Amino acid sequence: MRIDVALVPQEIEGKSFENTTVIVIDVLRASTCIVNAITNGCDEIIPTVSVEEAMDISRAYSRDDYLLCGERKNEKIDGFDLGNSPLEFTEERIKGKKLIMTTTNGTKAIRIAKTAPCVIIGGFWNLSACCEAAARLGTNIFIICAGQNGRYAIEDAICAGGFVKRLGALTNGEIEETDGSRTARHLYETVCDSLAEALAEADHGKDLINAGFEEDVKVAARVDCVGVVPVFRDGHIVAMDDSRSA
């Protein structure tokens, strides 16, 4: 099983994802939000690339059925119901709702991966669950780090390295690494005992802390606190099989 990691989103351009499971990671904060929202019982999430697209899609649904969610420059978008803070996505707020979501980098990275036969959304929260699901599928794996405005984001690379490490353990070392996956794994191994600190000193971590989202940065570093595996299929993110009850 070959595991590749795109450390910057530009690497994805022109890639063919045939026979490949793609895992999209945006630790701060889109994938952590999505994992929490699916865990807390939202009906589905529709990731969009722009505010306009989110608004257009919402017109097809009755107002009680959906919530508009997402951020621009870290803040909730004007007129939207929720921002992009994982802590906002409580069961009371989102259970049974359709979430129409747009974020600066995360939802775009998910959409880019749409040609892959299976697209998983992962973060530290569901690291082991995602790795177990991907290992079961048995195909090659391509991990996409959503990054930050087209640039490398260390928190996504650290998390990708955690995925590579766990996949290696699950397959008794039967993985073929690339320079991307090897680099991510080495990075993870240097900071795995101090993930919260590593996230807080990341560029985007600092931005979020300065904007008042310190708690979001802290909670994003929790490892394996849920068993859900969100998958992106036909334009919708839902829980893989019965992973929500795991």
Return residues touching ligand MLT (CB under 6 A): 26, 28-30, 71, 74, 84, 103-106, 208
Q: State in angstroms the smallest separation of the CB of 180 from ligand MLT.
A: 20
Smaller CB separation from ligand MLT, 47 or 180: 47
- Cα angle 217, 122, 49; round to 5: 85
Q: State in angstroms the smallest separation of the CB of 208 from ligand MLT.
A: 6
**How big is the chain, counted in residues?**
246
Residue 41 CB neighbours (<10 A): 14
Q: State in angstroms the smallest separation of the CB of 207 from ligand MLT.
A: 8
| 98-125: burial string, b at 16+ Cβ within 10 Å, e else | bbbbbbbbbbbbbbbbeebebbbbbbbb
CA-CA distance, 131 to 135, in Å (whole number)? 6
Q: Are 3 and 182 in contact (CB under 8 A)?
A: no
Q: State in angstroms the smallest separation of the CB of 106 from ligand MLT.
A: 3
Smaller CB separation from ligand MLT, 106 or 180: 106
Q: State in angstroms the smallest separation of the CB of 29 from ligand MLT.
A: 4
Q: Are 5 and 186 in contact (CB under 8 A)?
A: no
Smaller CB separation from ligand MLT, 175 or 202: 202
Q: State in angstroms the smallest separation of the CB of 122 from ligand MLT.
A: 14
CA-CA distance, 128 to 181, in Å (whole number)? 17
Smaller CB separation from ligand MLT, 116 or 220: 220
Angle between helices 203-210 and 154-170 (to 10 degrees): 120
